Amino acid sequence: MECALCRENREIRRSHIIPEFLYEAMYDEKHRFHALSVIENQKDWMEQKGLREPLLCDDCETNISRFEDYARRALKGGTEFKFQRQGSAVIVDGLDYKRFKLFQLSILWRAGVSTLELFQHVQLGPFEETLRKMVFDESPGKQEDFGCVMFGLKYGIDAIADLIVQPVKTRSDDGHCCYRFVFGGFQWVFFVSSRPTTGPYSVGFLQESGRLCFIVKDVFEANWASTFAQRRAQLGRP
């Protein structure tokens, strides 16, 4: 079977689209989690060990796991950074641009090639091959190439790590095509456009210097949140 990344005919593993460490807060005592559907007439279901499908060979899986391991330490602790708060804004300095950017790009690309219903709205078109080459060649590009704006999500005073929302296509105020993901306690908005992304949005992109600026906001500020708040209550979660 052909590996989606290297395009070689090899034995293929069941690969995660969103890395498993981002599901950890969602697992129950049997290592399962509730998948909450936003598809009309589709019931919620149970999954185990994250959402996976046959996608990558061992070599490509191993290569991508290096970016994921760095991101895990960056997001969950284990790597020291300098950071400062300015109101609701957080400014982080010292990120490894290449590894963290390739982590972001690999998730966007995997969602685009995935056949799972959860990712059906991520349709990358001609950008799919561009992203594949960037991930395979380990070339993160410039900071404005497929830039991603992150928003930290909280509920009251608590961070929200146990929420994954079906990605959707949207548009920025100035007309750029975007894909919105929610996982790992953040909303990730990827800009996928042939036009250069400049102006206020680009300030939120991971900078080649290793600086990242993001805004922390209450989850109920998002227009998709009310549905999932009801679902969480049904599952006995606050």
pLDDT value of position 205: 95
pLDDT value of position 130: 97
DSSP letters spanning the chain = -B-TTT--B--EEEEESS-GGGTGGG--TTSEEEE---STTPPPEEEESS-EEEEEEHHHHHHHHHHHHHHHHHHHSSS--EEEEETTEEEEE---HHHHHHHHHHHHHHHHH--SGGGTT---TTHHHHHHHHHHTT----TTTT-EEEEEEEETTEE--S--EEEEEEE-TTS-EEEEEEETTEEEEEE--SS---GGGGGGSPPTTS-EEEEEEEGGGSTTHHHHHHHHHHTT--
pLDDT value of position 224: 52
Q: Could you list the pLDDT tens digit for every one of the 238 residues in the chain?
A: 999 999 999 999 999 998 888 766 554 555 455 555 555 555 555 555 567 899 999 999 999 999 999 999 998 877 778 889 888 889 999 999 999 999 999 999 999 999 998 899 999 999 999 999 999 999 999 999 999 999 988 876 666 666 777 888 998 888 889 999 988 888 999 999 887 776 777 889 999 999 999 988 877 666 555 555 555 445 454 4
pLDDT value of position 235: 46
Residues in the chain: 238
pLDDT value of position 238: 46
